[in-house]
Amino acid sequence: MKNTNPIGLFDSGIGGTTIWQEIHKLMPTEDTIFLADQKNAPYGTQTKEAILALSHKNIQYLVDQGCKLVVVACNTATTNAIQELRSSFTIPIIGIEPAIKPASLLTKTSTIGVLATKGTITSDLFTSKLKLYPNVKIIEQIGYNLVTLIESGQLHSQEMKDLLQLYLLPMVEQGMDTLVLGCTHYPYLTPIIKTLIPEHILIIDSGEAVAKHTQKILGEHHLLTPHTNKGSTVFYTNVNPSILQTFAPEDIQVQQIEF
Ligand code: DGL
């Protein structure tokens, strides 16, 4: 494998762009290919078997494009399928999980909230991780419909505000002082969330940590690019690109392909 090959990323859709941004910020000279499987979004309401099959298909596509490493830019796919995916491919595969560990270190009230998809919250991986923090009260909340609204261009809708209020206020009432955004789509909700919950509540996600981990693993495999110029970026989707385009960097033209 050549160190000049691209880094691949995939998600069910728009959420993966938040991870791409962190990867690109940290390693701007790396070439990247981002796959948004919007035709099959959301993943969060599907079975473990379906999530695994879709994730496998996406990684195979990225491997066929020559990717030297793949970032699963999706908590739902990671928590349901990462072990099986790692055993199916030989390149390094990086996953993303809700940032419970940093939240458990930051909380002063020993009460954290986790907002994530149904697929993540009900996964064996996620539920087994919760047991590692017996002294922290962890309030789990499924973000029903949030991804669907973002994917359909309704990020700034009244419905979004109403749903967030419904999900978050009970967590605030239970003393949450740290909120974990456990889905890569949710960082786009941060400005809205800030208008709904008290200012002292910390909002955290795993994007930056995943980018740092990706850099470390590339280094360990001697796969960091030696290039010093800005890397190339390709965004692919399998539906009409117009909504994803509004979340993509200005100089990137999202391409619609079959995968
Ligand atoms: N962005 C994804 C995640 O991090 C998937 C959301 C979905 O498709 O339900 O969980």
Nearest to 129, CA basis, from 154, 98, 105, 102 = 98
Please check whether residue 12 is in contact with residue 146, taking contact to mean a CB–CB distance below 8 angstroms. Answer: no
Active site residues: 74, 183
Q: Please give the distance, rounded to the nearest whole angstrom, from the Cα atom of residue 78 to the centre of ligand 1.
A: 10
Structural domain boundaries of the chain? 7-96+207-256, 100-205
Tell me: the pLDDT tens digits for 146-189?
A: 999 999 999 999 999 999 999 999 999 999 999 999 999 999 99
The two counts, helices (H) then strands (E), for the chain are: 11, 10
Q: Please give the distance, rounded to the nearest whole angstrom, from the Cα atom of residue 76 to the centre of ligand 1.
A: 5
Please check whether residue 40 is in contact with residue 225, taking contact to mean a CB–CB distance below 8 angstroms. Answer: no
Please check whether residue 54 is in contact with residue 40, taking contact to mean a CB–CB distance below 8 angstroms. Answer: yes
User: Which structure tokens are listed for 134?
Assistant: 């017996």
Q: What pLDDT score does 38 carry? A: 98
Under CATH, to which class is 7-96+207-256 assigned?
A: alpha beta
Tell me: the pLDDT tens digits for 207-242?
A: 999 999 999 999 999 999 999 999 999 999 999 999
Question: What is the fold of 100-205?
Answer: Rossmann fold (3.40.50)
Tell me: the pLDDT tens digits for 79-136?
A: 999 999 999 999 999 999 999 999 999 999 999 999 999 999 999 999 999 999 999 9
Gap between the Cα atoms of 46 and 258, Å rounded:
21
One fold for both 7-96+207-256 and 100-205?
A: yes
The binding-site residues of ligand 1, defined as CB within 6 angstroms of any ligand atom, are: 11-12, 15, 41-44, 74-76, 117, 120, 147, 183-185
Whole-model pTM: value is 0.98
Q: Which among 184, 238, 243 is the best mutation to test ligand 1's pocket, defined by most ligand atoms within 8 Å of the CB?
A: 184
